[in-house]
DNA sequence: TAATTTGGTTTATAAAATAAATCTATTTAT
DNA sequence: ATAAATAGATTTATTTTATAAACCAAATTA
């Protein structure tokens, strides 16, 4: 799909949960595991895996700290992630633009 | 992800190739296999599978005819598919709206 | 002190995407 | 006429992803 008409969709972002996480991190700049889990309504296992992928791609930074005695996993979007997200949103337009005109 | 903030994304449409096909069928109302293959730059195998899924969901109609002596697979979007596509595009907005504002 | 809850990770399973192989019929070249 | 190549796909196999289930350690509650 390297055609003119449709721009390729970054597979790392073209996932419901990862997209939701990135969307949240764009708003808040920093969020912990529990917050992300609640906002996305994801299971902990799924969230853990998807955060790993985003982190592995360098789209988010993950910092493991403690809040009091409990572990606390903090996430924030990197510049690279920010750029990738904007590129993804732009690419999406090539698929849905005429639908918006309906 | 049945939360208020993020609307669920129809898994049948949340696929690069199926989304591209639907996007094309929204424009042209009717297209054959070869045209869809060229416009999406997909492999024939992949396209065949994804057309089956869209057809199985009732999002497109597939008519097998002949053009001269060669087989010709015609596709068009159904009302159900049209509705699903618009709903999908609307749901997407809940993930990417703030990005558009950047 | 025995459950239960919190905050996760790891492993296993199911589903999806992609690629490779195959098939039928038709052209084109020999 | 026959072999090789092309068109238009489908089927099967492989890889990748997503999801769910199981698990773990520490902390809290009963």
For residue A99, what are the contacts with CB-CB under 8 A and spacing of at least 6?
B23, B26, B85, B86, B89
Q: Which residues pair with B67 in a beta bridge?
A: B70
**A-B Cβ pairs (cutoff 8 Å, strict):** 79
Q: Which residues of B touch A (CB under 8 A)?
A: 1-3, 5-6, 8-9, 14, 16-17, 19-20, 23, 26-27, 39-42, 85-86, 89, 92, 94-96, 98-100, 102
- Residue range B62-99, pLDDT digits in tens: 999 999 989 999 999 999 999 999 999 999 999 998 77
DSSP single-letter state for residue A74: E
The class (CATH top level) of B16-101 is mainly alpha
Nearest alpha carbon to residue B26 among B93, B68, B72, B86: B86
Separation CA B93–CA B102 (nearest Å): 14
Digit-coded pLDDT (tens) for A62-78? 999 999 999 999 999 99
Contact B23, B84 (CB under 8 A): no
Chain A residue with Cα closest to B36 = A1
From chain A, the residues in CB contact with B99 under 8 A are 23, 26, 85-86, 89
The tally of CA atoms less than 13 A away on the side-chain side of residue B90 is: 7
pTM attached to this predicted model: 0.92
């Amino acid at each position: 799909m390297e055609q003119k008409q449709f721009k390729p969709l970054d597979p790392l972002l073209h996932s419901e949960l990862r997209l939701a996480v990135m969307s949240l991190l764009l708003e808040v700049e920093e969020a912990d595991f529990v917050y992300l889990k609640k906002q996305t309504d994801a299971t902990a296992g799924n969230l853990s895996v998807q955060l790993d992928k985003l982190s592995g791609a360098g789209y988010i930074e993950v910092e493991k700290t403690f809040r009091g005695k409990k572990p606390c996993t903090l996430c924030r979007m990197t510049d690279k992630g920010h750029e990738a997200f904007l590129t993804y949103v732009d690419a999406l337009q090539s698929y849905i633009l005429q639908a918006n005109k309906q």
